[in-house]
Structure 1
Amino acid sequence: MTVQTAARSGSTDKLLILAAVCFAGLCMPLSFTAPSVALPAIGRNFGVSPVALGWVMNAFILAFGSTVMAAGALADRYGRKRLFTIGMAAFTVISAVIGYAPNLLVLELLRAVQGVAAALAMAGGAASLAHEFDGEARTRAYGMLGTSFGVGLALGPVWAGYLIETFGWRSVFLTGVAIGLLVLAFGVPRMSESRDPDATGVDPWGTATFTATLLLFTFAVMEAPHRGWSDAGVIAMLAGAALMLGLFILVEKLQQRPMLDLSLFAYPRFLGAQALPLATAFGFVVPLVILPARFIGAEGMTEIEVGLMLLPLCLPIAIVPLLGAFLTRWIPAATLAAIGLTLAAAGLAWLATVSPGSPRMAFILPLALIGIGSGLPWGLMDALAVSVVPKERAGMATGIFSTVRVAGEALALAATGAVLMGLTRAGLGPVAGRGEAQLTTLANELAGGGLAQASVLAPELSRAAMMLVYGDAYRSTLIVLALINLATAVIALLTLRPQRAAGIDGHQACRA
């Protein structure tokens, strides 16, 4: 084989490796957006309330978020290719099994296992790109990974709507099987193994305490609207979360090579980078998850119509991150991030003015503005976060960033659900002949978009009255989300201003 032929062969292998990681990246947002569209159909199938359905999303998010740092440490220690292969194989098998879940509990447990598999795959795959590519090639590789996430987000709702109406909600979980098989057959065999020779492996105590912190806090936030914030169980869970967080920090400080290097949080730029995914969680992910219930329950749309309605929100995430990375040649990352978050805040405030029952075209422009605004910081986050650590610790860096991002999404969904339910409960006020428990059930149904079931529970309330309560609660919730985005825009300006994203370790990463 000549040198030129070998170079072409090597280039082809790298393209297939990149394609494999990008297709794996495509699976993750599909596993997130498709089930969000399927939730109403799942609820009808199993006959459960919107509150119970929340764990279909949270089980995946929490499992991913609580294990991805450990997955990054395992990738550094035992090999990025090995972890990527194990993760994709497990993800493919679970995707095949999950479509046959006999009840909601089994579905939620399988979603948790799927989240762990996704964490292994993404930690290994993203870290492998840092090993396979250098310089500008690495810039383009991470840009393609970000684009694949964006494509998954953009296509997920439409694809899910089509599958649900054609084959039923169970079919949305089978897409990962076909993609997983392609990745395992054509991409994995061409990957080279890489690891950090100084890595010490997973931190079991750190993983356990961090997972306990996330679970206790998220469960407390989800349960508080139903039990009340003064409930002994809620207080106990919040206290337990605080205790576990303290133990986690202590454990990490005692580790020679912790899975979470706490010293990184002394860098303002690193803190600013971690704030960005929290803002996009509240500004983009939360609307993406809660809007399908509104569109189906309050606006009377079908699943495929919901997918089409979400396109203005999701489609910009496939395009704008690359535009943001390109613009860093002339505009500082802090300015771009602040502009994007401000645009997203404006879109959320605009969406808050759209009352239930409004013409469908009234949703299009505010949703597009949210998507465009969220896309600008989304394309800057990876490079800002990963560049703080040496190349050999890429697994840890991607693990930290993914953890903050995904854990933030879980907490954002739980907190927003609690706010929406609390505002709905307050709007209902005392309903004649109903105790606190009945009012809470009614508020849960109404906040989840279940106007039909709410009408059965409270037949004396007209649909117009319920729509008014629902619209007021939704409006106030969206205003809160807008304010969070504005606050983060200020944080981005204060912490990220000193450096331009284009100068970060010579590369730029885009991620959706």
Structure 2
Amino acid sequence: MSRHGLRRADRAHPRLALLAVCLAAAAMPLTFTGTAVALPSIAEALHAGPVATAWVTNAFMLTFGSALMAAGALADSLGRRRVFLFGAGTFSLFSLALTVAPNILLFDLLRGGQGLAAAAAYAGGAAALAQEFEGSARLRAFSFVGTSFGVGLSLGPVASGAMIESFGWRSIFLAVVLFTALAFVIGRLVMKESRDPAALGLDWPGAVAFTAMLALFTYGMLLVPERGWSDGFVLGLFIAASVCLVLFIRIEGTVARPMLDLSLFRYRRFVGVQLLAAAPAYGFVVLLILLPLRFVGIEGMGTVAGGGLMIALSAPLLVLPIVAGWLTRFVRPATLCAAGLIVTACGLAWLSTLPVGTSAAVLALPMLLIGTGISLPWGLMDGLAIGVVPKERAGMAMGIFSTVRVAGEGVALAVVGAVLSMLIAGHIHAAGLSGAAQAAGQSLAVGDLGGAFVAMPGAEAVQILASYSEAFSRLLILLAAITSLTALIVFLALGHQTEEEAVASEACR
């Protein structure tokens, strides 16, 4: 090859490395939203109870979120390319194994393995891209990664619904295998190795304490609908989670290279960005699970129809984050983020007025409003995460932000699922229906209408559906209130636009 050709190939490598990371990034939400559409089929085929069914989604989100900071530290120490390739390769293998998992226990364990692999692929890929690009090009590259997440969220439900109806629910993981295998091959060919020579390795005590805290809390929340808040084992899990949290904070305050630099929380805007990172979890992400369960499991829609309806919720993410970046020419990012959350809250409140049995065309309107609202902060959060702290802290700030966002989604799923289950059981009791109300609430919360009939043998379908519908509406009103409060706090915390935020906004345009 000529010298000119070599130079041209070298210039192409960063773009191909970006393609590899984007392919892996698209696979992560694809395996999340796609599984939501298939959840009733998975539970039926593998004879899973409500708690085991909830772990299908929670196992992935829990391990993904809890391992992100540790994976970032390993990438700096062992090599960013190496950790990315390990993550993409094992993600593909775990996804392939899910297509033949014979029981729900192994299935849930493989989902946890997927989450660990996703953390390695994301953290290693993001760290590698930070070395491949500089300045505004780096921020644009990360905007492509964010868009890839949006593509996975948008196309996951409808693509998975079509695959389920044509080839069965196990086929949905084959698309994930394809994406991550391509990411591995491209990354192996073009990605440059890099590491931090000053890295001291992984903060193992901190990583163990953080992961244990999230796991214990999530497990406790999943058991609350069945055992209640006062159950000794549940209380023990929450106490143990609190102890792990205290240990994690103490460890991070003493180690030389902590995963979490606690001094960052001195910055008011940094705290506001962390709250902003968590906001989509309970205003948007939980709906990616709850609505397919409602449409397919409770209302009896086909998987294609239910998945197709989900496009109304996630399609705005394909376009509007870019529009949000352009709007920062005229409006402060804090104002845009707060306004987006208020729009999201209005959509949640509107959706709460639509009972089970409402036509798809009517349901799509508030779902579109929710997706439109959440798209505004979605397009600005990454830039704000970097811009609200001193420049030399940007790497760690991004790692903490990503961890809060993903771990928050896992925690939100567990909490919201438990709340919905208890609300359903409460409405069943209030209606005076005989049977096991708690068991029925658990079944309905995971989209298992048949399980609710087994738990409530004397109840009629209209009574059970009415209890579910009222509980779902109450939950949406609660989520709307939380999202509105978050909008106010974010607006006040982010305050005026700093110089760093202005640079980030300029790069988004």
**Superposed pair shares fold, TM > 0.5:** yes
Deviation for aligned residue 1:451: 2.9
Deviation for aligned residue 1:5: 4.3
- Is it true that 1:486 corresponds to 2:484 in the alignment? yes
- Is it true that 1:503 corresponds to 2:502 in the alignment? yes
Unaligned runs of at least 5 residues, structure 1: none
Maintained 8 Å contact 1:83/1:121: yes
CA distance in 2: counterparts of 1:153 and 1:508, whole angstroms: 24
- Is it true that 1:97 corresponds to 2:80 in the alignment? no
> In terms of mean alpha carbon deviation, does 492-501 or 76-85 score higher?
492-501
Aligned to 1:254, the other structure's residue is in SS state coil
CA distance in 1: counterparts of 2:255 and 2:98, whole angstroms: 37
CA distance in 2: counterparts of 1:461 and 1:48, whole angstroms: 23
Distance 1:90 1:310, change over 3 A: same
1:398-448 deviations in Å (ceiling 9; x for gaps):
43222111111111111111111111111111787967xx32112222333
Cross-structure match for 1:443: 441
Q: What do you get for the CA RMSD once the two structures are aligned?
A: 2.1
CA distance in 2: counterparts of 1:389 and 1:74, whole angstroms: 23
Deviation for aligned residue 1:256: 1.1
CA distance in 2: counterparts of 1:314 and 1:506, whole angstroms: 23
Unaligned runs of at least 5 residues, structure 2: none
Cross-structure match for 1:140: 140
Larger RCO, structure (CA 8 Å, separation 6 or more): 1
Distance 1:433 1:352, change over 3 A: closer
Deviation for aligned residue 1:452: 3.4
> In terms of mean alpha carbon deviation, does 360-369 or 390-399 score higher?
390-399
Deviation for aligned residue 1:6: 4.5
Letter in 2 for 1:110: L
1:67-107 deviations in Å (ceiling 9; x for gaps):
11000111122221111111111111111112110100000
Deviation for aligned residue 1:506: 7.4
Letter in 1 for 2:460: S
Deviation for aligned residue 1:375: 1.0
Maintained 8 Å contact 2:437/2:455: no
Distance 1:331 1:122, change over 3 A: same
1:142-166 deviations in Å (ceiling 9; x for gaps):
1111111101110000111011111
CA distance in 2: counterparts of 1:271 and 1:46, whole angstroms: 42
Deviation for aligned residue 1:240: 0.7
Q: How does 1:99-118 map to 2 (within 5 A)?
A: 99-118=99-118
Cross-structure match for 1:13: 13
Aligned to 1:101, the other structure's residue is in SS state coil
Q: How does 1:40-439 map to 2 (within 5 A)?
A: 40-387=40-387, 396-429=396-429, 438-439=436-437
Letter in 2 for 1:52: A
Maintained 8 Å contact 2:161/2:303: yes
Maintained 8 Å contact 1:83/1:120: yes
Distance 1:393 1:25, change over 3 A: farther
Deviation for aligned residue 1:388: 5.2
Deviation for aligned residue 1:382: 1.4
1:164-196 deviations in Å (ceiling 9; x for gaps):
111111111121221122222223321112222
Percent identity between the aligned chains? 48
Maintained 8 Å contact 1:210/1:248: yes
Maintained 8 Å contact 1:72/1:398: no
Letter in 1 for 2:224: A
> In terms of mean alpha carbon deviation, does 91-100 or 278-287 score higher?
91-100
Maintained 8 Å contact 1:50/1:445: yes
Maintained 8 Å contact 1:143/1:508: no
Deviation for aligned residue 1:3: 7.0
Maintained 8 Å contact 2:344/2:369: yes
Deviation for aligned residue 1:396: 3.6
1:296-328 deviations in Å (ceiling 9; x for gaps):
133220111111010010111122112112222
Deviation for aligned residue 1:130: 1.5
Distance 1:3 1:509, change over 3 A: farther
Distance 1:99 1:392, change over 3 A: farther
> In terms of mean alpha carbon deviation, does 399-408 or 178-187 score higher?
178-187
Letter in 1 for 2:277: P
* TM-score, normalisation: structure 2: 0.95
> In terms of mean alpha carbon deviation, does 339-348 or 171-180 score higher?
171-180
Letter in 1 for 2:361: M
Aligned to 2:253, the other structure's residue is in SS state helix
Query: What is the count of residue pairs matched by the alignment?
Result: 508
Distance 1:8 1:439, change over 3 A: same
Letter in 2 for 1:445: S
Aligned to 1:229, the other structure's residue is in SS state coil
Letter in 1 for 2:167: F
CA distance in 2: counterparts of 1:27 and 1:445, whole angstroms: 29
Deviation for aligned residue 1:508: 4.9
Maintained 8 Å contact 2:40/2:446: no
Letter in 2 for 1:499: Q
CA distance in 2: counterparts of 1:220 and 1:486, whole angstroms: 27
